Structure 1
Amino acid sequence: MLKVVEILPGWTGPHADHVALDYDGRHRRRMTLTGAHGLSFLLDLPAARLLHGGDGLKLDDGRVVVVEALPEPLMEVRGDDGVHLLRLAWHIGNRHLTAQVEAERILLRYDRVIGHMLEHLGAKVTAVTAPFDPEGGAYGDVHHDHDHDH
């Protein structure tokens, strides 16, 4: 079976196939994948990592398969201004939630309880469907959502 030998961030060159995966499907260490055109291969990394939309997966035969981030149900969080959005980001981070941070909004995986909490903090929360490409965390790619007491 073909194996991935290198991950090429933001690949824009030619490619033999592509795989379309949601966030969970793109955060892996080891799995067999089959591209949209039938090319099968093994992803076998030393540690789990998040593959980003647009990454190229270079196979041991030299071909490249491009990763596509599938749209999924998310919450778009907006504040009244930049400072308000920063405060909302602090509350989200305090709960160790995986988040995609942009200049004027934060995207989170859909969670009714978290959405309700953010609305009580004055956020405008809207359900959206979009690819999810969250921050990796200070120590590399982080893949967990949990809440705990400090």
Structure 2
Amino acid sequence: MSEDLPPLTDLPRAHTVLPAGYWDAAKAVGTVTLDFDHRCRRRLRLERDGNGGAVLLDLPSPRHIRDGDGLVLTGVGTVAVKAAPEDLMEVRCEAIADLLRMAWHIGNRHIPAELRGDRLRIRADHVLADMLTGLGAIVTPVSAPFDPEGGAYGDSPAGGGHGHSHGHGHDHDHGHDHHHHGHGHG
């Protein structure tokens, strides 16, 4: 860590995230541009764009911060979040049924995916590109902000929800014709 950086305790802290549309973005005291990984954190030192100085993201729990959300800095104001462009792939199909099949294959691998109406966006990955192309998809590289779905158990744009664990809270009794997964939701 560089000697000219202030300690984390001296930085303005963001304890609250305001969803896009629920705060006045015209009154933002700066912006931070973050890729998807850096928008899914609990605690992180962030640099405001344009030499605006550092701030500390210090949330009570990890959450998905979306493009346009505001980080409320104690005693300072609200900083706007911008999603940074990333290397992605757009997945398209001739028929909606085929696109749904591609979405199933992507979801079955627990790959974050952004739903864009007639196409899907996922992170660039040559192995996935080969698989999807082999299944009949049209895969095109793009550079764009990435804002994947939050999942069935949380991360709605307005927050809320509850955790979803894929721990070993399931059994596999292969002596019967059924297969049960008991997911722990806490």
Structure 2-normalised TM-score?
0.72
Q: Distance in 1 between matches of 2:73 and 2:14?
A: 4
Q: Look up the match of 2:71.
A: 57
Alpha-carbon contact 1:72-1:132 (below 8 Å) kept: yes
Shift of 1:5: 2.8
Shift of 1:62: 4.6
Q: Distance in 2 between matches of 1:2 and 1:16?
A: 12
More strand by share: 1
Runs (5+) with no aligned partner, structure 2: 1-10, 156-162, 164-178, 180-186
Give the number of the structure with larger relative contact order, counting CA–CA contacts within 8 Å between residues 6 or more apart.
1
Alpha-carbon contact 1:89-1:106 (below 8 Å) kept: yes
The residue correspondences of 1:5-16 to structure 2 (distance < 5 A) are: 5-10=15-20, 11=23, 12-16=25-29
Q: Distance in 1 between matches of 2:117 and 2:99?
A: 9
Q: Distance in 2 between matches of 1:61 and 1:34?
A: 18
What secondary structure is seen at the aligned counterpart in 1 of 2:151?
A: coil
Structure label with greater radius of gyration = 2
Which of 84, 103, 106 is equivalent to 1:89?
A: 103
How high is the sequence identity, in percent, across the aligned residues?
50
CA RMSD, Structure 1 to Structure 2 (Å): 1.6
What secondary structure is seen at the aligned counterpart in 1 of 2:27?
A: coil
Runs (5+) with no aligned partner, structure 1: 143-149
Alpha-carbon contact 1:17-1:39 (below 8 Å) kept: no
Stretch of structure 1 that moved more, 64-73 or 1-10: 1-10
1:31 equivalent to 2:48? Answer no
Q: Look up the match of 1:2.
A: 12
Structure 1-normalised TM-score?
0.89
Letter in 2 for 1:7: V
Q: Which runs of 4+ in 1 moved over 4 A?
A: none
Q: Look up the match of 1:112.
A: 126
